Amino acid sequence: EIVLTQSPATLSLSPGERATLSCRASQSVSSYLAWYQHKPGQAPRLLIIDASNRATGIPARFSGSGSGTDFTLTISSLEPEDFAVYYCQQRSNWPPKYTFGQGTKLEIK
């Protein structure tokens, strides 16, 4: 079973700063990695598909990179609405299972 480990657990930054979030897989997931943003009381929101492709309607300040076992979500200049919890997620082929990382909480400094 593939395990996704996110770091850091909490990231404290100010609006306008650059955020770099990491997701490491216990074995290669090729480029089949997604990123989500989740705010309390709201539905999770898909940000990045296949490691580096922005989902529909996602602002250009969000970008993803990586392949194999190491992935990064970068927010180039934080807006007030970006403070949330971020999850990475992958899917194993057989049996089909969908695994999430434990999340990184991005909080206002």
Partner 1 sequence: EVQLVETGGGLIQPGGSLRLSCAASGFTVSTNYMSWVRQAPGKGLEWVSIIYSGGNTHYADSVKGRFTISRDNSNNTVYLQMNSLRPDDTAVYYCARAPVAVAPFHHWGQGTLVTVSS
Give how far Cα 48 sits from Cα of 18, 64, 108, 109, Å: 17, 7, 22, 25
Residues in the interface with partner 1 (CB under 8 A) total 24
Q: Which residue, 91 or 109, has its beta carbon nearer to partner 1? A: 91
In whole angstroms, how far apart are CA 62 and each of 11, 17, 32, 78, 92?
A: 16, 13, 18, 9, 25
Taking the least distance from each CB to partner 1, the nearer of 17 and 81 is: 81
Q: At closest approach, how far in Å is the CB of 21 from partner 1?
A: 14
Site for partner 1 in 53-92 (CB under 8 A): 55, 87, 89, 91
- Kindly state the tokens that stand for 77: 């200049």
Backbone φ and ψ for 80, nearest 5 degrees, come out as -55, -30
Dihedral pair phi/psi, residue 54, rounded to 5°: -70, 140
For partner 1, the binding residue among 25, 34, 58, 75 (CB under 8 A) is 34
- Shortest Å, Cβ 4 to partner 1: 10
Can you give the binding site for partner 1, defined by CB under 8 A?
32, 34, 36, 38, 41-46, 49, 55, 87, 89, 91, 95-103
